[in-house]
Amino acid sequence: MTDCFGIEVSEEEISRWNVLDSGPLGFAEWREWCIPSKVSDRPHNDFWKLWLPLEEEDVVGRTICEIGCGIGLQAVPLLSRCGRYIGLDVSPLVVSIARMHFSDIPKAEFLHTVYDKERILGLRGKTDGVFGKDFFYHQTSCRLLRMMDEAYEMLLPGGWMFIDQLPGEEQGGSSDWSLSSPSWPSFRTSDEAILEHAEGLGFSSFRAIDVQIPASGDCSPNRHNILLRKMG
């Protein structure tokens, strides 16, 4: 079967994602500071400065889609500004957790990339922004480029796509890593490959944004982000 990006996904792979998400390196734990009732009264300056450094007009009142949303940690700061948030994930476990915790927030929606494929395809031409946090650098180049294809279709003219990458050289990897890896492997797609594909799709601008992440217990390194914008 295929997901909303046209990528072949097996039930075995979906089960594997559930295992990863619920494990010690996963995201199934719901921390107190993420409770949706605190959407409006918690400052999220670090999120906008470090993780999604965009202009205010790119977010306020807009329809934003997150790929690889997990349990919705990024939905919390986004919902304080955007008009509508849509989270996509391949793990039924985290989608269910997110739906439960955000059930009283109408403008938040969580969809499974396979089981809700038709609803996701119905978003084409209806979103203002597409992004992933701690996500795209876990995708092989082949998968990343397929996701760019669908993101372009989802975006309204002038809409943006924000791709998180890791610093360093391009890295290769097997397309079926998720069936055998015990953790979350990282990949690096070159700027040149992303730019070439983006131009072929019709993105009108390409900007690299390097962000220095303060030293902390977070195992994630600094980011080399890519911001693409669809021709207006």
- pLDDT at site 48: 84
Confidence of residue 166 (pLDDT cuts 50, 70, 90): confident
Average pLDDT over residues 183-200: 90
Least confident of 59-68, 72-81, 195-204: 72-81
Confidence of residue 17 (pLDDT cuts 50, 70, 90): confident
Confidence of residue 182 (pLDDT cuts 50, 70, 90): low
pLDDT averaged over the chain? Answer: 86
Confidence of residue 212 (pLDDT cuts 50, 70, 90): confident
Average pLDDT over residues 24-32: 62
Using CA atoms, how far apart are residues 230 and 203, in angstroms rounded to an integer? 4
Is it the case that residue 180 has pLDDT exceeding 50?
no
- pLDDT at site 122: 98
| Position with higher pLDDT, 214 vs 118 | 118
pLDDT digits (tens, 9 = 90+) for 84-139: 999 999 999 999 999 998 999 999 999 999 999 999 999 999 999 999 998 999 89
- pLDDT at site 33: 46
Domain boundaries, given as residue ranges, for the chain:
11-230
- Full-model pTM: 0.89
What does the H/E/C string look like for the chain? CECCCCCECCHHHHHHHHHHHHCCCCCCCCCHHHCHHHCCCCCCHHHHHHHCCCCHHHCCCCEEEEECCCCCCCHHHHHCCCCEEEEEECCHHHHHHHHHHCCCCCCEEEEECCCCHHHHHCCCCCEEEEECCCCHHHCCHHHHHHHHHHHHHHEEEEEEEEEEECCCCCECCCCCHHHCCCCCCCCECCHHHHHHHHHHHCEEEEEEEEECCCCCCCCCCCEEEEEEEECC
CATH 3.40.50.150 fits 11-230, yes or no: yes
| Position with higher pLDDT, 165 vs 220 | 165
Inter-residue contact 164 to 134 (CB < 8 Å): yes
Confidence of residue 188 (pLDDT cuts 50, 70, 90): confident
Using CA atoms, how far apart are residues 64 and 78, in angstroms rounded to an integer? 8
How much of the chain, in percent, has pLDDT values that exceed 70?
Answer: 82
Is it the case that residue 169 has pLDDT exceeding 80?
no
